[in-house]
C-alpha cells in the first residue's frame, strides 16, 4: 500500500492556492494568503480535484509528521492521497479555527476536520468497512508558499489514533469524543512585527527551557493560572493543575525528556513552534495512555500558543501519540 495509507491522507487537505499556474498571485499581503488558504480548503471540501491540484507547485511536498510514511510529491500525488479520505468520509469538511500568517509566506493553522464514515477506509492493516460513525478532530499544518502563490511545502501534525478510536471505540483506550463544531469563531492573526509579537516570541523559548529543566515552579511564571492546555493525543484538555500532573508523569517516565524547536512563527497574540521531543520511555504515562517500552524515541511536534500579558493562556500541541511506542527508526522518521 502506498500513499493511499490513511496515515498519509490528511497531508493533502491544505496549504493551497486557488490560482492555476498561468494565474499566479503575488503574495503581497497576509489577507491574500488567508484567502488562498481558505479557498483551497473549499476545493477539498467540495471534492474539486482539478482545482485543488492548482494549489500546489510542481515540486510541492506534503508530509504528515511522526507517522513514518513517505511524503506525497507533486500536485497529482498530493491530490491522489486526498481522495482516499473523501471515499471513506464523503461529507467530511475542514473548518479553520486559527490561522496565523507570518512575515515569510508561511501559514500556520488549526483546522477541525469532521464527517461520517459511510465508505470504505484504507488503512495500513487493511480496509475498514463503513461504520456509519462520526469522527472529528483538530489537526495542524505549517504551509510554506512560493512567490507565485502556490504551496511548496506542507507539514501536517495530528493524532491518527484519536480518529481510529472514534471509529472503533474500545474500553481499553479513552479517546476524545468526535468534535462536530468549532468552539468559537475563526481567528486570524497576521504578523505586524510589533512590540507584542516581539515580547511573545521571547516567552515560548523560555517555556521550552523550563520544560527541559523539569521546572514546574518556573513554568508557572510563563503560564496563566487559567490556561487551557490541549494535546491532540490526550483524551481531554488540562487546566494548570492537570498540566502539572501530566508533566510529572512524563518526567518520571522519560527522565531525559528534551524538547527542541527547529522553527518558530509569530503573528498577533500567537506564537507557533515546530520541532521534536525525545527521550527514553522508561515508564508509563497514564494521562496519555502510553506504556513503558524502554526505547529511545524522537517525536515531531507542532505547538501553537496564545498569549496575553506575556503569559500563555491557551496551548495546542499536536503529535502522534503512538510514536512514543514505536521503534526508534519509525518514531524518528520525519
pTM score of the predicted model: 0.87
Backbone angles phi, psi at 207, to 5 degrees: -60, -50
How is domain 6-190 classified at the CATH fold level?
Answer: Nuclear Transport Factor 2; Chain: A, (3.10.450)
Point out which residues pair with 64 in neighbouring strands: 156
- 100 Ramachandran zone, left/alpha/beta (phi>0; psi -120 to 50): beta
**Domain extents for the chain?**
6-190, 195-332
Does the structure show a pLDDT above 70 at 17? Answer: no
Strand arrangement of the beta sheet that strand 311-318 belongs to: 223-231, 311-318, 296-308, 270-280, 258-267
Lowest-confidence range among 36-50, 144-158, 202-216, 284-298?
284-298
Does the structure show a pLDDT above 90 at 200? Answer: yes
Residue 157 · residue 65 · CB < 8 Å: yes
Residue 277 · residue 301 · CB < 8 Å: yes
Does the structure show a pLDDT above 90 at 259? Answer: yes
Dist. CA 121–CA 110, nearest whole Å: 24
Dist. CA 7–CA 84, nearest whole Å: 11
pLDDT at residue number 333: 37
pLDDT band at 72 (very low <50, low <70, confident <90, very high): very high
Q: Which CATH number fits domain 195-332: 3.10.450.50, 3.40.50.300, 2.120.10.30, 3.90.1170.50?
A: 3.10.450.50
pLDDT at residue number 25: 38
pLDDT at residue number 28: 58
Does the structure show a pLDDT above 90 at 67? Answer: no
Strands 187-190 and 93-101, sheet pairing: parallel
What does the pLDDT look like over 95-149, one tens digit per residue?
A: 999 999 998 889 999 999 999 999 999 876 789 999 999 999 999 999 999 888 8
Dist. CA 259–CA 291, nearest whole Å: 20
pLDDT at residue number 104: 83
| Identical fold between 6-190 and 195-332 | yes
Amino acid at each position: 500500500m502506498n500513499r493511499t495509507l490513511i496515515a498519509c491522507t490528511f497531508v493533502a487537505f491544505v496549504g493551497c492556492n486557488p490560482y492555476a499556474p498561468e494565474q499566479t498571485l503575488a503574495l503581497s499581503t497576509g489577507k491574500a494568503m488567508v484567502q488562498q488558504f481558505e479557498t483551497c480548503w473549499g476545493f477539498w471540501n467540495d471534492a474539486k480535484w482539478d482545482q485543488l491540484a492548482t494549489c500546489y507547485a510542481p515540486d510541492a511536498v506534503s508530509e504528515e509528521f511522526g507517522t513514518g510514511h513517505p511524503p506525497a510529491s507533486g500536485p497529482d500525488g498530493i491530490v491522489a492521497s486526498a481522495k482516499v479520505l473523501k471515499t471513506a468520509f464523503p461529507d467530511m469538511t475542514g473548518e479553520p479555527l486559527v490561522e496565523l500568517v507570518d512575515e515569510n509566506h508561511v501559514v500556520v493553522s488549526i483546522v477541525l476536520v469532521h464527517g461520517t464514515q459511510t465508505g470504505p477506509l484504507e488503512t495500513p492493516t487493511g480496509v475498514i468497512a463503513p461504520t456509519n460513525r462520526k469522527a472529528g478532530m483538530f489537526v495542524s499544518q505549517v504551509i510554506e508558499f512560493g512567490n507565485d502563490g502556490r504551496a511548496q511545502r506542507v507539514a501536517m501534525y495530528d493524532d491518527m489514533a484519536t480518529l481510529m478510536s472514534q471509529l472503533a471505540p474500545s474500553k481499553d483506550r479513552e479517546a476524545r469524543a468526535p468534535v462536530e463544531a468549532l468552539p468559537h469563531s475563526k481567528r486570524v492573526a497576521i504578523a505586524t512585527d510589533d512590540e507584542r509579537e516581539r515580547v511573545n516570541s521571547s516567552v515560548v523559548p523560555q517555556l521550552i527551557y523550563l520544560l527541559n529543566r523539569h521546572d514546574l515552579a518556573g513554568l508557572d511564571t510563563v503560564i496563566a493560572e487559567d490556561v487551557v492546555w490541549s494535546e491532540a493525543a490526550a483524551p481531554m484538555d488540562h487546566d494548570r493543575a492537570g498540566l502539572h500532573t501530566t508533566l510529572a508523569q512524563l518526567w518520571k517516565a522519560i527522565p531525559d525528556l528534551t524538547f527542541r524547536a527547529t522553527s518558530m512563527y509569530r503573528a498577533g497574540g500567537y506564537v507557533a513552534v515546530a520541532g521534536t521531543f525525545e527521550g527514553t520511555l522508561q515508564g508509563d504515562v497514564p494521562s496519555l495512555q502510553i506504556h513503558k517500552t524502554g526505547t529511545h524515541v524522537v517525536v515531531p511536534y507542532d505547538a501553537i500558543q496564545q498569549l496575553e500579558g506575556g503569559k500563555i493562556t491557551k496551548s495546542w500541541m499536536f503529535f502522534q501519540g503512538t510514536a512514543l511506542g514505536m521503534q526508534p527508526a519509525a518514531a524518528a522518521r520525519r
